Amino acid sequence: MDLAKKCINTGKDKNSTQKTKARAWEMCRQLLSEAERDLNVAYENTESAVDKTYLNKDFDFLRRMKENSRKPR
């Protein structure tokens, strides 16, 4: 998700070219999809309530990032 944050910053950077911005947003969405898969696997494989609490916070953060990186309609 850290790399996705960097992609979001690049996508919002006024000094970046349109091509770079488009690539950054695509890469961001790809990285967030991969992060979601990883979080799902982690959640399924943990039995600790504490770990599940932290994973739920990560899911919330991921959801907000996905909303920010959604393609314009």
Question: pTM, whole model, 2 decimals?
Answer: 0.87
pLDDT in tens, 26-54: 999 999 999 999 999 999 999 999 999 99
| 73 pLDDT higher than 70 | no
What is the pLDDT confidence band of residue 71, given thresholds at 50, 70 and 90? confident
What is the pLDDT confidence band of residue 63, given thresholds at 50, 70 and 90? very high
What pLDDT does residue 55 have?
97
- Please enumerate, as own/partner, the contacts of 64-73 that have beta carbons within 8 Å and a separation of 24 or more: 65/1, 65/4, 65/5, 65/8, 65/32, 66/29, 66/32, 66/36, 68/8, 69/4, 69/7, 69/8, 69/11, 69/25, 69/28, 69/29, 69/32, 71/25, 71/29
